[in-house]
């Protein structure tokens, strides 16, 4: 059986928990997506933009120096950081943008945390000639001013969200509120494998190019499948993109890395799979950070892209079925991962991806040299210079 089912459920997770106003739009979107996902012309156009515009396939790079330093399993980096716009997010926005065009929508909106998805959406809006508005938490606008400027240069309107905690979850609330008001001409480009059905399925499918390429590239390099996949999980789109094409390969371990901020005992973290409970937010049932009354708790992570109290429903399903395992990495550990990759390989990773690297620093030495790990380097770190400098006590 393939998931999700026809109402978008992954076991008990997922679904469409939205107001009735949005239901017709979600049903229309699902119908359009099902029609076009196997359409030869749509697929050819999607592939064309991934190749000629994004620069795919990106390499599966053998991080030899880091591997030798750690003395264990071979480490391969899936270089999503080399994509146009600097992260994996653009794979999905190309797909949704092409779908929006075919559905006759003239305007796209998006929520963004670190700004990577906002930039990727503003980019395709410029490319495809659509109006674009990006909702971003006021706190994230402070943390990610460079990406805000990029979005504006690309012609997008960036709307600061001051309600609630003024971070990614509130940006998503505001995007949903805007969508409900503009539903007739607007396409909501959700940036991760969360939200109401069909988004978790659709975003996963667009991002699955990561895993399909990595699988073929690893086969070519090693003549076999990798032993472990590692990826950071905020909403979880880069992780699911990497994992999905390997789900049926029982020998391949999958490890999702959540952000535990100041540490799970501190309560200031963003690790719903490791330390949350099941609930409903932003249109889907999934693991969440919440109090006993079902009020959503504040998430914390040094990485704005992981600073979210929920996670994609398919990850909740993979956790409960045991197919994937989920661990967490603190802010401090993520900074160590950031520095290690920068100094050993000359690659500056995004803070989100640094969580995955930090887990590899722990995992690789415990595995034999014959084994290999594929880690998703989901984005580049240019956007994080201010945050990292501040954490290191350096003023720029």
Partner 1 sequence: MTRIGKRFAQLKKEKRKALITFVTAGDPDLALTERLIPSMAAAGADIMELGMPFSDPMADGPTIQLSSERALAGGTTLAAILAMVKRVRETCDVPILLMGYFNPVFAFGQERFCKEAAAAGVDGVLLVDLPPEEAVEFGRLARGAGVDLISLLTPTSDQSRIARVKRVAAGFVYYVSVAGVTGARATVAADIGAMVETIRSRVSLPVAVGFGISTPEQAATVARVADGVVVGSALVKLFEEHRGEELVERVCAAVKGLRGGVDGAA
Q: Closest distance between partner 1 and the C-beta of residue 136, in Å? A: 17
Residue 24 or 59 having the CB closest to partner 1: 24
C-alpha closest to that of 92 among 195, 176, 18? 195
Site string for partner 1, 355-394 (x = CB under 8 A): ----------------------------------------
The stretch among 59-67, 173-181, 242-250, 331-339 that binds partner 1 (CB under 8 A) is 173-181
183 binding partner 1? (CB under 8 A): yes
Q: From the DSSP assignment, how many helices (H) and strands (E) are in the chain?
A: 16, 14
Residue 170 or 384 having the CB closest to partner 1: 170
21 binding partner 1? (CB under 8 A): yes
**Which residue of 120, 124, 239, 296 would you call a contact of partner 1, by CB under 8 A?**
296
In 42-100, the DSSP E strands lie at 60-62, 74-79
For residue 203, give every residue at least 6 positions away whose Cβ sits within 8 Å of its Cβ, in sequence order, or none: 92, 96, 190, 191, 192, 193, 237, 240
The stretch among 162-170, 209-217, 227-235, 343-351 that binds partner 1 (CB under 8 A) is 162-170
**Which residue of 122, 242, 281, 324 would you call a contact of partner 1, by CB under 8 A?**
281
For residue 383, give every residue at least 6 positions away whose Cβ sits within 8 Å of its Cβ, in sequence order, or none: 86, 114, 115, 116, 144, 146, 147, 350
Q: Closest distance between partner 1 and the C-beta of residue 215, in Å? A: 35
**Which residue of 169, 253, 300, 315 would you call a contact of partner 1, by CB under 8 A?**
169
| Size of site (CB under 8 A) for partner 1 | 34
- Report DSSP state, residue 267: T
Q: Closest distance between partner 1 and the C-beta of residue 143, in Å? A: 21
**Which residue of 3, 25, 193, 234 would you call a contact of partner 1, by CB under 8 A?**
25
Q: Closest distance between partner 1 and the C-beta of residue 110, in Å? A: 16
Q: How many CB atoms lie within 10 A of CB 142?
A: 13
Q: How many CB atoms lie within 10 A of CB 369?
A: 12
d(CA 208, CA 143): 29
173 binding partner 1? (CB under 8 A): yes
Active site residue 174: no
Angle at which helix 23-36 crosses helix 89-102, to 10 degrees, equals 100
Which residues are registered as beta bridge partners of 158? 134
d(CA 26, CA 38): 19
Q: Three-state DSSP class for 103?
A: coil
Q: How far is residue 238 from each of residues 167, 244, 315, 386, measured CA to CA in Å?
A: 20, 10, 12, 24
Catalytic entry in 30, 111, 174, 314? 111
Catalytic entry in 74, 78, 80, 89? 89
Active site residue 378: yes
Tell me the catalytic residues. Answer: 89, 111, 378
In the complex, the residues that contact partner 1 under the rule CB under 8 A are 7, 15-21, 23-25, 163-164, 169-170, 173, 176-177, 180-181, 183-184, 279-283, 288, 290, 292-296
């Amino acid at each position: 059986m393939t998931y999700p089912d026809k109402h978008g459920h992954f076991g008990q997770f997922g679904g469409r928990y939205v107001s009735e106003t949005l239901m017709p739009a979600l049903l229309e979107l699902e119908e359009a997506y099902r029609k076009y996902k196997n359409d030869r012309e749509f697929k050819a156009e999607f592939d064309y933009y991934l190749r000629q515009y994004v620069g795919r396939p990106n390499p599966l790079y053998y991080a030899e120096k880091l591997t030798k330093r750690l003395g264990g399993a071979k480490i391969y980096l899936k270089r999503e950081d080399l994509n146009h716009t600097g992260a994996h997010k653009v794979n999905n926005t190309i797909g949704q943008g092409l779908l929006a065009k075919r559905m006759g929508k003239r305007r796209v909106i998006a929520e963004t945390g670190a700004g990577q998805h906002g930039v990727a959406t503003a980019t395709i809006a410029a490319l495809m000639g659509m109006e674009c508005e990006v909702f971003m938490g006021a706190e994230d606008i402070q943390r990610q001013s460079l990406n805000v400027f990029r979005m504006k240069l690309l012609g997008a309107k960036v709307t600061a969200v001051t309600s609630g905690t003024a971070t990614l979850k509130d940006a998503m609330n505001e995007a949903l509120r805007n969508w409900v008001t503009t539903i007739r001409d607007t396409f909501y480009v959700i940036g991760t494998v969360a939200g109401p059905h069909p988004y978790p399925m659709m975003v996963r499918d667009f991002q699955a190019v990561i895993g399909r390429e990595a699988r073929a590239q690893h086969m070519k390099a090693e003549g076999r499948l990798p032993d472990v996949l590692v990826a950071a999980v905020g909403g979880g789109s880069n992780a699911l993109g990497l994992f999905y094409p390997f789900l049926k390969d029982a020998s391949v371990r999958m490890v999702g890395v959540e952000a535990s901020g100041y540490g799970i005992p501190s309560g200031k973290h963003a690790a719903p799979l490791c330390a949350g409970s099941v609930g409903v937010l932003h249109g889907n049932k999934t693991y969440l950070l919440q109090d006993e009354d079902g009020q959503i708790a504040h998430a914390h992570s040094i990485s704005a892209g992981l600073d979210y109290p929920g996670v994609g429903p398919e990850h909740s399903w993979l956790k409960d079925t045991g197919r994937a395992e989920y661990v967490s990495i603190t802010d401090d550990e993520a900074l160590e991962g950031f520095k290690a990759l920068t100094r050993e390989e000359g690659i500056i990773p995004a803070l989100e991806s640094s969580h995955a690297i930090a887990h590899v620093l722990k995992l690789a030495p415990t595995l034999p040299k014959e084994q290999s790990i594929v880690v998703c380097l989901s984005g580049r770190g240019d956007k994080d210079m201010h945050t990292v400098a501040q954490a290191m006590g350096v003023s720029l």
